[in-house]
Amino acid sequence: MARKQLCAALVSMFLSIPLAGQVQKVAEGFQFVEGPLWKDGVGLLFSDINGNTIYRWSQDSGVAVYLRPSGGSNGLAFDLQGRLLAALQGNRQVVRIEQNGTRTVLASLYQGKRLNSPNDLVVKSDGSIWFTDPPYGISSSQEELHFCGIYRISTSGDLQLLDKTLTRPNGIAFSPDEAKLYVNDSEVRVISAWDIVSDSTIANKRSFAAIAPVGYADGMKVDAAGNIFSAGPLGIWVFAPDGHVLDTILVPGQTTNCNWGDSDRKTLYITSGTAVYKTRPAITGMHDPGNEGLIEPGFGLLENFPNPFNPSTTIRYGLPRKSEVQLEVYNALGQHAALLVRGEQEAGYHEVKFDAGPNGGQGSRLATGVYLCRLQARQLEGGQSREVIQTRKFLLLR
């Protein structure tokens, strides 16, 4: 079986195993969704590009049309006054939508030529709007610029070209201190980074991270700790501020974008193909300083990282009380692959490295495939003896 076919089959198997930590589907039945954006009192806004509609979703009222026609909207954001901004792939514009529905075109031409198809956008703390402009949705004969730009709209409305070296600029985000700009180059699956100079120009372009050997990179967000959450093959790829992979959140479909939502902004909403999902990731910087994004110590397996992995991954788990612990790994057929921990451990967070290579202590090099991590703990404190078991899955891709 070819490598691509093998990877696809393994991912399909991976997603079909109903274990803890999976994303939850909240809405489906759309054509192609993008641009998730949370608004307190309203819920989640998101674009259905091909459906020419912006929808809203809330836990209480479900899905409703928010704006139709939308101009083929893609990425969404709010300006500093809380007004909706939209990158209109269909209309080839960036617009501001007032509370009464009135639209103001903020960008449609560069040096007298039409933009390609504005894709995603982000607002800086000074009120300027930064966006990407690949040619998705238009033919080569419709292209007037013949390059794909990254642009800045100043607070006075001036349109400034920042860069035109990427083949398909897509997702765009700032570092928490706004000292760096990150942009996904979609078809080569590389996140580029620049230094932001004098708040208005970019310099020192470099490759920040590569996502995968196949598929596409898409929208992304950066959390308060500087971790980058990027849509890509398999789902959402999570990178640390230094560029190494922390985790992969597995999502069905062609994952396009993500954003934080709910009142505490700790739920990650994800658009993928024809559906919208949500999850509460273990790794998130949407937290108080020093909290490391984790809940108070309680029982459970956290997301291992990286995932997928080759050849090793770090498994983390929490214990609310001193416990007798057994941590094991099985393959997808239920065959025992490794014993990682056996014995008493104190309350708190613990981590252990699982190495699937020949030097990992398993006796042989484990094969590519889906593996299950099983945590079994019997509490030894708290006035009662209680045994709890939890299982998570991860993917070894060689």
The pair of three-digit structure tokens given for residue 139, joined into one six-digit string: 């033919």
| Structure confidence by residue, pLDDT tens digits, 28-78 | 999 999 999 999 999 999 999 999 999 999 999 999 999 999 999 999 999
| Structure confidence by residue, pLDDT tens digits, 233-249 | 878 988 889 888 777 78
The pair of three-digit structure tokens given for residue 131, joined into one six-digit string: 């966006």
Total tally of structural domains belonging to the chain: 2
Q: Does some domain include residue 287?
A: no
Cβ atoms within 10 Å, residue 165: 12
Do 165 and 234 fall into the same domain?
A: yes
| Per-residue pLDDT band at 90 (split at 50, 70, 90) | very high
Query: Which domain, by its residues, includes 358?
Result: 300-396
Do 261 and 388 fall into the same domain?
A: no
Sequence-distant (6+) residues with CB within 8 A of 244 are 209, 306
Do 92 and 145 fall into the same domain?
A: yes
Scanning the structure block, which residue is given the tokens 């309203």?
Answer: 42
Question: What's the number of CA atoms in the CB half-sphere (13 Å) around residue 126?
Answer: 15
Q: Please state, in angstroms and rounded to a whole number, the distance separating the CA atoms of residues 199 and 59.
A: 38
Give the phi and the psi of residue 170 in degrees, each rounded to 5.
-135, -100
Tell me whether the omega of the peptide bond preceding residue 311 falls within 30 degrees of 0, making it cis.
yes
**Ramachandran region of residue 29, left (φ > 0), alpha (ψ -120 to 50) or beta?**
left
Are the C-beta atoms of residues 200 and 178 closer than 8 Å to each other? no
**Has residue 4 got a pLDDT over 70?**
no
Do 138 and 103 fall into the same domain?
A: yes
Do 199 and 311 fall into the same domain?
A: no
Q: What is the CATH number of the domain that holds 385?
A: 2.60.40.4070
Scanning the structure block, which residue is given the tokens 């029982």?
Answer: 299
pLDDT at 363: 59
pLDDT at 2: 57
pLDDT at 12: 53
**Has residue 323 got a pLDDT over 60?**
yes
Q: Does some domain include residue 286?
A: no
User: How does the average pLDDT of the chain come out, rounded?
Assistant: 86
Q: Does some domain include residue 146?
A: yes
Element containing residue 232 per DSSP (H, E): strand 228-232
- DSSP codes joined into one string, 309-356: BSSEEEEEEEESS-EEEEEEEEETTS-EEEEEEEEEE-SEEEEEEEE-
Average of per-residue pLDDT across 348-367 = 78
Do 68 and 202 fall into the same domain?
A: yes
pTM, two decimal places = 0.72
Q: Does some domain include residue 285?
A: no
Q: Does some domain include residue 236?
A: yes
Helix (H, G, I), strand (E, B) or coil at 12: helix
Do 13 and 131 fall into the same domain?
A: yes
Average of per-residue pLDDT across 259-276 = 94
Q: Please state, in angstroms and rounded to a whole number, the distance separating the CA atoms of residues 102 and 166.
A: 33
pLDDT at 294: 35
Sequence-distant (6+) residues with CB within 8 A of 319 are 297, 299, 325, 345, 346, 347, 348, 350, 377
Do 171 and 223 fall into the same domain?
A: yes
**Has residue 3 got a pLDDT over 80?**
no
| Pairing verdict, β 121-123 and 129-133 | antiparallel
Give the phi and the psi of residue 141 in degrees, each rounded to 5.
-70, -20
| Per-residue pLDDT band at 254 (split at 50, 70, 90) | very high
pLDDT at 245: 77
Q: What is the CATH number of the domain that holds 113?
A: 2.120.10.30
User: In the listed set 229, 246, 279, which residue is the last one of a domain according to the structure?
Assistant: 279
